Homo-oligomer: A and B are copies of this chain.
Amino acid sequence: MFKEFNVSTEDRYQLIDITEKAEEIVKESGVKNGLVFIFVPHSTASIILTENEEGLKKDWLEIFKKLTSGIDFQHNKIDDNADSHILSGLAGQGKILPIKDSRTVRGTWQQIFLVEFDGPRTRKIIVKIVEG
């Protein structure tokens, strides 16, 4: 099962909770047991699992700024988004979760987030499910 949907982002860096949409696709797939892979086919965005709390979302943005601060990026001579590529690669463009008894298995504070590093843009999210 392979599904995709779009998300429009509004800021250059932004965290957007996509848990509900992703879990809806798992439910509609009818798959009882397996793995679900949530993936962005982009090199300046990420998928992470973290708590949906307003303060924490701000903290993530501070960490992202800190990780790439103080470097004179060569890529910025061509396209001013070296930070976006680096953060996307470090945070990862896809995450996996188990499916058990037709439900996505995750912790209470493990929401699924799209992380935008070079917005605003329209991003494609792929939800790929394998049974087993």
Count A interface residues, CB 8 Å. Answer: 61
A114 within 8 A of B: no
Given contacts A48-B89, A50-B43, A98-B128, whether A35 and B34 have CB atoms under 8 Å apart is no
B-facing mask of A42-79, CB < 8 A → 1, else 0? Answer: 11100011110111101110110011101101111110
Within the assembled complex, what's the spacing in Å between the Cα atoms of A24 and B53?
Answer: 37
A91 within 8 A of B: yes
Give residues in A with beta carbon < 8 Å to B: 2, 33-35, 37, 39-44, 48-51, 53-56, 58-60, 62-63, 66-68, 70-71, 73-78, 82, 85-86, 88-98, 100, 105-107, 109-110, 126, 128-132
